[in-house]
Structure 1
C-alpha cells in the first residue's frame, strides 16, 4: 500500500486562491493523502470556502482557530497529521498532479528522511529536470543560507517520525524566517538530504501576502530567526559559518530595498543609513561568496548607489504585481 502523506495548508486571507490550491491537491495521482487545512482566523471567506471543499472530499481535514500566525497554523496541522510523510503547501499556491508522487519517489529511492527541491518552482525558476542527488545535511544547511535551496518549508517533504522524535515544531514567536529555522533544526537530526530539480510547485504572486509586503519588524524577526538557528547548530563547519554570515549580510540589502519600495526612508532614516554603511563596509563578502559574475556586478552597483538599485528593483516588483508573475531577483 502507498504510505499516507499529510499535506498541511495554512489558510489566511487567500479567498482568491484557496480553491485552486486545494483542487490541485485533490487531483494528485498519488491517492493516499490527507489534506489538512488550517484556517488561522482568516477575516475573509477562506474559512467558508474550505468548509465547502471538505463536504466534497473526505480526505480533507479542516481546523478553525483564532489568529495566531502561520507558525501556529502549521503546528496545529502537524498535531493532527497521521501520515508517514508531511509536506507543506501555502494557501495561495498550487502544485502539479505528480507533486506528492515526485517527492515520495525521491524519499524511497534515496532512503533519506527529507527531500528538498532546489529553486525549481514557477515564479522563480521554471527550469525543470529529473536530476536528483544526495548531499550531507551540512551541505544542505550551507546551500539554504546561500540560496541554492529555498528557505521555505514548501517544495519539500519530511518524515514525520523525525519531527516527533526530536520535538521539532515551528517557533510561534517567529513569523518571518520561521521556515528556515524549522529546516535548519530538522537538518540537525539527519545525515543526508535528497535534492530534486523538478518544478512541480507553482508560487502565485499574491501582493497581499506577508512575504510581499515590506515590514521592518518582519525583517528584524528574520534576523532573530538567524540567531536562533545559530544557537541550534549541532552540525557546523567553516562553510556553514561563512554562508550564515553572508545571509545575515543580505538583510541589509533587503531592508534598503523595502524602505525604498515603501517610501519609508524618512521614517526610518537611521536604519537606512546603518544598512547602507553595513553593506558598503563589507562589500568583499558577497563578492567572495557569489559565483555568478552578474550577481557580483549587481553587488558592486549596490555599493555605488544602493538607492538607485533599490528603485530599479521596486520597478520590477511593481511589474510582477501587475502581471501576476513571480519577481526574479
Structure 2
C-alpha cells in the first residue's frame, strides 16, 4: 500500500478542529500519517492536537511560531514520510472514503497526481463542485497545458475552472523532494497555492482526475476573502504579474492569457465593491480609495486587453465603468450589490 501523508496546518480553529481531525481518522484507507501543524494558535487548538496525538500513534504534532499557511505547510512537508501528500485546512473535513478513492485512481492508472472536486458547505445548504476534467487522464505536457491553464482562472463566461487549491489533491512526495518544492508565504504572494502549482504540475508526468467531491469546504464565519484588506488590490496585481511571468516561462501564456486577465479584472471589481462596503457610507473615503485602483495603469491595460465579448453582460457593464473610471456610477452599483448581497 502507498502511504499518504495528510498535512493540516491549524491556527485558532478550536471550534472546528475536532471535526477536521475526526474526519481524517475515520478514513477507510488505513496507511496514513497525520501531521498537525499548530501555527502559533492563541486558543486551545494546540492543546486539542496534542490530546489527539496521545490517543493515536498515526498523529504527529508540530508547534511553531505563527508564520502563515504556506510556511506551516512547509513544516509539515519536512516531517512527511508518505509516498503521496495531501492537505486539509483545519476548519474543513473530508468524507471517510476520500483518500481511498484518490489512491485507487492513482494505482489504477499508474499516475503521480490525482485531482478531485469538493463540496461547499453553507449554513443551510451544500453545493457539489465536480472537477470539470473528471474522468480524464493527462500525460506529459498535457498536465500543464490542460490542468494548470484552468487553474489560473475560468473562461470569460465563468466556466471551465479547476480549483487551484492543494487540498482535494494527492501530490507525489517524490516530485516534491526531487525538486525541493516548497510553498511561498501568502505574505509574499496572495495565493501561495497557485505559485506552488506552477512549480509542481510542469514536473508531473501523469495526472488523473476523478469525480469525487469528498473534500468539504465550509463557509465559516470570518473568512479572509470577505474581510477588508487595503492592500488586496496591490497584492493581487503583484500576484498577476508573477503568474504572467511563470506562464510565459513554461510556455502556456498564450493559451491562458484571457483567463489570467479575467481573474485579475474580476478581483479588481470585487476590490471596488469592498471599498464601497467598508467606506461607512462615506463617498469621499470610497472615492479616494477607488480612484487609486481605477487609475492604476496595469488594471487599465488589462481592461483594454480583456475580451469582453464572452463576459456576462452585468460584469461587462462594470468593466466599462471601471475602464472609463465612472466612480459615482460604480458607487451606486456596488452599493446596490452590497445591500442585497449580490
Q: Same fold (TM over 0.5)?
A: yes
Counterpart position of 1:68: 67
Please tell me whether residue 134 in structure 1 is matched to residue 141 in structure 2. Answer: no
Whole-angstrom distance in 1 between the partners of 2:27 and 2:95: 8
Structure 2 distance, partners of 1:7, 1:91, is 12
**Whole-Å separation in 2 of the counterparts to 1:58 and 1:25:** 13
Which residue is equivalent to 2:175?
Answer: 162
Distance in 1 of aligned mates of 2:258 and 2:302: 17
Secondary structure, aligned partner of 1:143: helix
Q: Which residue of 1 aligns with 2:325?
A: none
> For structure 1, which runs of at least 5 residues remain unmatched after alignment?
291-295, 318-328
The structure 2 residue matched to 1:225, chosen from 233, 239, 245, is 239
Q: Which moved more, 1:223-232 or 1:145-154?
A: 223-232
Among residues 184, 189, 206, which one is paired with 2:198 in the alignment? 184
Structure label with greater radius of gyration? 2
Shift of 1:262: 2.8
SS of the counterpart of 1:19?
helix
Equivalent residue, structure 2, for 1:253? 269
Is 2:290 aligned against 1:272?
yes
CA spacing shift, 1:95–1:312, aligned 2, 3 Å: farther
Match of 2:324 in 1: none
Q: Is the 8 A contact 1:99 1:200 kept in 2?
A: yes
Q: Which moved more, 1:4-13 or 1:99-108?
A: 99-108
1:240 alignment counterpart:
256
- Whether 1:143 aligns to 2:161 is no
Tell me whether 258-267 or 162-171 shows the greater mean CA deviation: 258-267
Secondary structure of 2:240 counterpart: helix
SS of aligned partner of 2:35: strand
**Whole-Å separation in 1 of the counterparts to 2:330 and 2:286:** 16
Deviation at 1:141, TM superposition (A): 1.6
* Aligned residue pairs, count: 311
Contact persistence 2:276–2:286 (CA under 8 A): no
Alignment check: 8 A CA contact 2:149 2:252 kept: no
Change (3 A) 1:268 1:244: same
Question: In structure 2, the residue corresponding to 1:64 is in which secondary structure?
Answer: strand
Given that residues 258 and 307 in structure 2 are in contact (C-alpha distance below 8 angstroms), is that contact kept between their aligned partners in structure 1?
A: no
Who is 2:303 aligned against? 282
CA contact (8 A) 2:116 2:134 kept: no
CA deviation digits over 1:11-32, x for unaligned, max 9? 1111100110010000001001
Aligned to 1:325: none
Equivalent position SS for 1:139: helix
Question: How high is the TM-score relative to the length of structure 2?
Answer: 0.81
Instruction: Give 1:127 shift.
Output: 5.2
Q: Provide structure 2 residue ranges, at least 5 long, that are not aligned to the other structure.
A: 155-160, 322-328
